[in-house]
């Protein structure tokens, strides 16, 4: 997610108990929330949830922006907190709405009871902006349906730059938001196919994280009208397949505040590029659709998914259920002023976790307010949204932003499990509590089996802010996790030797699947998502080309606020006159080799395959700019690195020994000192040793070859003595990341491996590099 200053220090940033529990509801969207046509499309039923409202009125519009309502209909209580009304299509047409139907709600409640004298912009009936129970009803704010399947426009857009119209508080409560507010769009069921979902086991995946707009916005091979769109992204399916990628993970594509990104050209202008401030959990973001007409974004997203599925590529979504775009109170000393788009104006205490007194919000996200993930109805929205994207939109898996918040067992300041209170300021992660959202998700969905098949792949970003929210390794069986320790320890090994104590035992754990984190909970190596870099931080090139973050640059590379100060990056001595660009490429090759040769699920950032740079900006969340979009005009060095990445991925896919379903055991994995002796406890425990090698016995793992990997972390050359390869074979070189081998064939094509020798052969390995041999 975006790394505000409060989050900067974080980045760097229990086994599930068998407790029987009744499902929170019997089926996906059992309350039938949202707006839907009947089978004959002669009427539309509108259903919305509010446990404390005293009146809700539906407002219908002929357009999404700038017009007054065409008709209104009062909703009636339908039980269990649901409000509903069914409107004949003939009545809607009679009101002058002959095209798409746009809609929103106005709601009254205890803090603002209904008065017959109320009119838009009136204060009639007002009692308080927020009452003792946390209600924040304000009928002057038109509310977006949390279950709307498409949204008309963002609150702020080229026509409206004034966010104050959506606020409560003395200065803004009578400002009517009706003509400005985003409206839901009523959609008939889509007939667009999403293709056949791949059933590949997660252990066999290579994930490519990319922004859907940045993927093609400056790709001249894509027709201009499709650049930066879902359609354009689908046209890149063959490119990713040729690279070897098997799953594409998109940064948030649910509606977020980005319509205004182009209002002030060539300026950050507080842009929201990454998209981690969700306005609606069901709607595909219209900005990424070339067809923005009602129904267009949905069908176009589905067609994009089909294009990837046709290429055998899974589609993952980055989802943000820990907070919303409404944020928190505007200041820490005034509870009355807060943004009201949707959830807050319908049922504030249901959708947000409130502090003692119900005036403010708990915040473990750095963005103002925790989504109330322990509340059943708020959980329903999460589950119903996931089901919609998986079943209707064709998505194969989800990465959950700040997923520790979904393990929160506190409900509005009251710990409702085994402890008498919330020990961490209204927050407590508890994977053993069967009612937390992360366990609810496991109950409601089938997780893809280890051997492959139907189901979802679930990925947690296992941290948030404060309390016990750093939970790497703490999620229950069924979840995979972004392994931040893999990132940090390998960056340290490459870039910090001499500056800090480096433990080679940690890197050995990383290479073999991080058993220290995942084995005890019954999980497997592939539950570790291994990465050197992602959107949050530096690019692969910058990790090995920058001595620290440089976020205060001019457009298009900045300025960006926030970002971590703990990067473990180094320019390989170039600024000191002791390193070269070739040294930086060597380090990047070594880092990517670690990523792809380690047991686990590798994740690369889009552009890593050609050494994309952000010139040391490590928090480019706000740059919807040419610097942040992928570039397909490469130098020779970039093309060479692309070949290296492509062949490295192909090697991983060709050797199942690198993709184990379980933990290596016995002779399957053997560690060696450079001398050729097996590494013993004295070698492991000596932190002055920083060269290590290992063999993977491929034949015992269903592989045609065994492998030998040597890593020299020192700056000077180290001589490795090779152990014996399998009987009847010798060692052949696949890659040596050293500078002497810089070029188009750093990683050789299959069949072009160079003979090195057998047992006892010595190999001089340059400093800070990796050697890969196979037996033939």
Residue 401 falls in the annotated catalytic set: yes
Residue 209 falls in the annotated catalytic set: no
Euclidean distance between CA atoms 287 and 259, whole angstroms? 6
Neighbours of 459 (CB within 10 A): 25
Which candidate, 109, 168, 167, 113, places its Cα nearest to that of 133?
A: 109
Q: Quick check: helix, strand or coil at residue 104?
A: strand
Looking at 129, 363, 401, 542, which residue is catalytic?
Answer: 401
Q: Whats the size of the chain, residue-wise? A: 776
Residue 685: partners with Cβ closer than 8 Å, 6 or more residues away: none
Rg, Å, the chain Cα set: 27
Euclidean distance between CA atoms 405 and 322, whole angstroms? 6
Neighbours of 80 (CB within 10 A): 11
Euclidean distance between CA atoms 109 and 137, whole angstroms? 6
CB-based contact 273:622 (threshold 8 Å): yes
Distances (CA, A) of 36 to 46, 182, 227, 319, 341: 7, 18, 32, 24, 21
Distances (CA, A) of 62 to 93, 103, 532, 610: 10, 9, 49, 47
Based on the number of CB atoms within 10 Å of its own CB, is 750 exposed (0-12), middle (13-18) or buried (19 or more)? exposed
Based on the number of CB atoms within 10 Å of its own CB, is 663 exposed (0-12), middle (13-18) or buried (19 or more)? middle
Distances (CA, A) of 772 to 525, 651, 705, 733: 21, 11, 12, 6
Map tokens 């927050």 to a residue: 427
Euclidean distance between CA atoms 343 and 371, whole angstroms? 10
Neighbours of 266 (CB within 10 A): 11
Distances (CA, A) of 267 to 227, 264, 285, 574: 21, 6, 22, 31
CA angle 91, 92, 95 (to 5 degrees): 90
Q: Quick check: helix, strand or coil at residue 699?
A: helix
Query: Which ranges in 294-361 belong to alpha helices (H)?
Result: 296-310, 343-351
Per residue, what are the HEC states of 197-255?
A: CCCCCHHHCCEEEECHHHHHCCCCCCCHHHCCCHHHHHCCHHHHHHHCCCEEEECCCEC
Euclidean distance between CA atoms 26 and 199, whole angstroms? 27
Number of H helices and E strands in the chain, helices first, is 16, 28
Exposure string for 486-512, b = 16+ CB within 10 A, e = fewer = bbbbbbbbbbbbeeeebbbbbbbbbbb
Looking at 300, 461, 507, 624, which residue is catalytic?
Answer: 461
Structure tokens at 46: 């509108």
CB under 8 Å, gap of 24 or more: what pairs does 329-334 form?
A: 329/360, 329/361, 329/368, 330/167, 330/169, 332/360, 334/169
Cα atoms found within 13 Å of the Cα of residue 315, Cβ hemisphere only:
30
CB-based contact 275:292 (threshold 8 Å): no
Structure tokens at 770: 């990796």
Q: Quick check: helix, strand or coil at residue 721?
A: strand
Neighbours of 380 (CB within 10 A): 20
Q: What is the dihedral sign for C-alpha 525, 528, 529, 530?
A: negative
Active site positions, annotated: 401, 461
């Amino acid at each position: 997610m975006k790394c505000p200053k409060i989050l900067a220090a974080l980045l760097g940033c229990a086994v599930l108990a068998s407790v029987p529990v009744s499902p929170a509801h019997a089926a996906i969207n059992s309350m039938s929330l949202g707006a839907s046509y009947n089978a004959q499309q002669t009427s539309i039923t509108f259903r919305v949830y509010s446990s404390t409202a005293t009146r809700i009125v539906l407002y219908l519009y002929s357009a999404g922006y700038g017009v007054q309502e065409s008709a209104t209909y009062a909703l009636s209580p339908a039980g269990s907190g649901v409000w509903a009304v069914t409107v004949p299509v003939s009545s809607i047409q009679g009101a002058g709405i002959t095209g798409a139907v746009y809609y929103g709600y106005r709601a009254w409640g205890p803090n603002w009871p209904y008065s017959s004298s109320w009119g838009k912009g009136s204060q009639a009936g007002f009692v308080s902006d927020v009452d003792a129970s946390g209600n924040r009803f304000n009928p002057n704010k038109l509310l977006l349906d949390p279950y709307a399947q498409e949204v008309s426009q963002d609150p702020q857009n080229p026509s409206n730059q004034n966010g104050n119209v959506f606020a409560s508080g003395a200065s803004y409560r009578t400002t009517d938001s009706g003509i400005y507010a985003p409206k839901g769009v009523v959609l008939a069921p889509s007939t667009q196919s999403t293709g056949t979902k791949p059933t590949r086991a997660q252990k066999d995946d290579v994930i490519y994280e990319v922004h859907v707009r940045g993927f093609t916005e400056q790709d001249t091979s894509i027709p201009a009208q499709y650049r930066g769109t879902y359609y354009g992204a689908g046209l890149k399916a063959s490119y990713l397949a040729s690279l070897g990628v098997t799953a594409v993970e998109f940064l948030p594509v649910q509606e977020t505040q980005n319509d205004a990104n182009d209002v002030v050209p060539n300026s950050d202008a507080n842009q929201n590029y990454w998209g981690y401030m969700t306005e609606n959990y069901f709607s595909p973001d219209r900005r990424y659709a070339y067809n923005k007409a009602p129904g267009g974004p949905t069908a176009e997203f589905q067609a994009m998914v089909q294009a990837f599925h046709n290429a055998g590529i899974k589609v993952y979504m980055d989802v943000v259920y820990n907070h919303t775009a409404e944020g928190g109170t505007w200041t820490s000393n005034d509870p009355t002023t807060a943004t009201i788009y949707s959830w807050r104006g319908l049922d504030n205490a249901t959708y947000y976790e409130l502090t003692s007194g119900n005036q403010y919000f708990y915040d473990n996200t750095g963005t103002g307010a925790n989504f109330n993930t322990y509340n059943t109805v708020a959980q329903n929205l999460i589950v119903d949204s996931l089901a919609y994207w998986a079943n209707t939109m064709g998505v194969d898996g989800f990465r959950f932003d700040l997923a520790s918040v979904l393990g929160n067992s506190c409900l509005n300041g009251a710990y409702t499990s085994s402890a008498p209170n919330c020990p961490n300021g209204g927050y407590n992660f508890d994977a053993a509590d069967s009612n937390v959202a992360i366990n609810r998700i496991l109950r409601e969905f089938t997780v893809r089996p280890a051997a492959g098949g139907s189901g979802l792949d679930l990925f947690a970003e296992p941290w948030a802010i404060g309390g016990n929210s750093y939970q790497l390794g703490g999620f229950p069986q069924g979840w995979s996790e972004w392994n931040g320790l893999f990132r940090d320890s390998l960056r340290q090994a490459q870039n910090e030797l001499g500056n800090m104590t480096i433990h080679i035992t940690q890197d050995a754990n990383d290479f073999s699947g991080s058993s220290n984190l995942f084995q005890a909970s019954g999980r497997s190596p592939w539950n570790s998502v291994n990465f050197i870099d992602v959107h949050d931080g530096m690019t692969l090139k910058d990790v090995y080309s920058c001595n620290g973050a440089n976020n205060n640059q001019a457009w298009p590379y900045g300025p960006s606020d926030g970002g971590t100060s703990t990067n473990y990056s180094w320019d390989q001595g170039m600024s000191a006159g002791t390193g070269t660009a070739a040294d930086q490429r060597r380090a990047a090759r070594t880092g990517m080799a670690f990523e792809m040769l380690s047991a686990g699920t590798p994740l690369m950032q889009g552009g890593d395959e050609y050494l994309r740079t952000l010139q040391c900006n490590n928090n480019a969340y706000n740059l919807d700019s040419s610097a942040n979009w992928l570039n397909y005009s490469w130098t020779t060095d970039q093309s060479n690195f692309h070949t290296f990445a492509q062949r490295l991925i192909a090697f991983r896919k060709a050797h199942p020994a690198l993709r184990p379903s379980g933990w290596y055991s016995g002779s399957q994995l053997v560690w060696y000192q450079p001398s050729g002796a097996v590494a013993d406890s004295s070698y492991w425990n000596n932190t002055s040793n920083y060269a290590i090698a290992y063999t993977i016995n491929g034949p015992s793992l269903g592989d045609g070859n065994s492998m030998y990997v040597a890593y020299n972390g020192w700056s000077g050359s180290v001589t490795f003595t090779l152990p014996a390869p399998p009987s009847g074979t010798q060692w052949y070189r696949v890659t040596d990341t050293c500078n002497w081998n810089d070029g188009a064939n750093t990683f050789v094509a299959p069949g072009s491996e160079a003979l090195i020798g057998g047992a006892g052969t010595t190999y001089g390995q340059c400093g800070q590099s990796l050697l890969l041999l196979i037996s033939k």
